[in-house]
Homo-oligomer: A and B are copies of this chain.
Amino acid sequence: SKNYHIAVLAGDGIGPEVMREAIKVMNAVGQKHDFTVTYEECFVGGAAIDHCGTPLPEETINACDKAQAILFGSVGGPKWDHLPHSQRPEAGALLPLRKRYGLFCNLRPARIFPGLNALSPLRADISAQGFDAMVVRELTGGIYFGTPKGREGEGDNERAFDTEVYTRAEIERIARVAFKVAMGRKKKVTSIDKSNVLASSVLWREVVMMVAEDFPEVTLEHLYIDNATMQLIKNPAQFDVVLCSNMFGDILSDECAMITGSMGLLASASLASGSFGLYEPAGGSAPDIAGQGIANPIAQILSMALMLRHSFGEIEAAEDVEKAVARALKDQIVTADLARAMPDAHIVNTVQMGDAIVERL
């Protein structure tokens, strides 16, 4: 039987609680599909700062180097808010991991799940039209990593600067992913830019149009970022695949997640060009409910399913997990965060939710 080896970085807040359930489900689905997953648990984020003085310790990096994938929980909390921004749990852990492993492609599915549109903060007549988008975000370029970046000068003339920069190759690589993903969905790509202002966006649009020629079945639309934030609220149903730069993708993927109203259900994958990837829930570490055993583990479980699919090619196992999750929801078994949408639901805790999903595998 096959074995896969991963690094498990549960992190802070609800991270450890929901991670336990994801591993439980992973072991169960492995048994069914005849594979095992060994894993090394490492500190990351605030927990790593507390234990090792840095959000991404060397031991953690070493463990990740040896792994085929990283299953990531969530990091951060008020405890570490006094630190300089770049050394906080979030940026201090995620940005170096993305860079080190070349995780250029961030996939963030955002959808209103069947029967759950009452969770959406949008008006019922809008959310009822449905929303099922996949944000494809470039993750290792743009203004996040562009140089020069820094500060110079003194007094009133002191200035700070960042460089938004994209090469043709970087844009082409992420655009190809978006079009391929669209081929397996509703065959529509909406590319986001600000090409009336940014030179980088003009190149972005050019390259995306060029890549589109290789995918004649896919409809391509372009939206300026400012218009996109409006269209998402006004008519979310128009979107399928949303292709963005690092910065615009940061903004739009969070807006998309909030539009669903069910952050506790949203997974994400950050992929390298090979099979390596980092998988994490879209939501944060939710320090307000941490330790109470009531957090929704589904986003973490679905992130694990994305790992099975993208890093291990265990497509059937991934689908089994996704179906088991759908079944549990259909059986009205939900954690408290989803209760609003399901007045007759059976409210369970984190562990019971994990169990319910294992039972339905």
Contacts and interface: CB of A to CB of B under 8 A. Distances in A.
A156 interface: yes
Contact of A161 (B86, B91, B164): B164
Contact of A121 (B86, B150, B234): B234
A226 to B, nearest CB: 4
A254 B234 contact: no
Interface string A166-180: 111100100000000
B230 A250 contact: no
Contacts of A226: 250-251, 253-254
A95 B197 contact: yes
Contact of A160 (B95, B165, B196, B255): B165
A229 interface: yes
A48 B280 CA distance: 51
A233 B169 CA distance: 35
A91 B226 CA distance: 13
A143 interface: yes
Q: Taking each of A86, A121, A201, which has the highest tally of chain B beta carbons within 10 Å of its own beta carbon?
A: A121
Contact of A196 (B86, B159, B259): B86
A164 B164 contact: yes
A143 B197 CA distance: 8
Contacts of A149: 198-199
A349 interface: no
A151 B194 CA distance: 16
Nearest to A160: B203
B161 A162 contact: no
Given A121-B122, A196-B91, A202-B85, A167 B156 contact: yes
A100 interface: no
A155 B126 contact: no
Interface in A106-127: 120-124, 126
A195 interface: yes
Contacts of A203: 151, 158-160
Contacts of A198: 143, 149, 162
Given A123-B124, A163-B161, A164-B164, A90 B196 contact: yes
Contacts of A166: 159-161
Interface of A: 85-86, 88, 90-91, 95, 120-124, 126, 143-144, 146, 149-151, 153, 155-169, 172, 194-204, 225-227, 229-230, 233-234, 247, 250-255, 257-259
Closest 10 CB pairs between A and B?
A: A160-B203, A91-B196, A230-B258, A156-B169, A161-B165, A85-B196, A226-B254, A229-B255, A159-B167, A162-B164
23 contacts: A85-B195, A88-B196, A91-B197, A120-B123, A121-B234, A122-B233, A146-B161, A155-B168, A156-B169, A157-B168, A158-B203, A159-B165, A159-B168, A159-B203, A160-B166, A160-B203, A162-B200, A226-B250, A229-B229, A230-B255, A230-B257, A233-B233, A255-B255
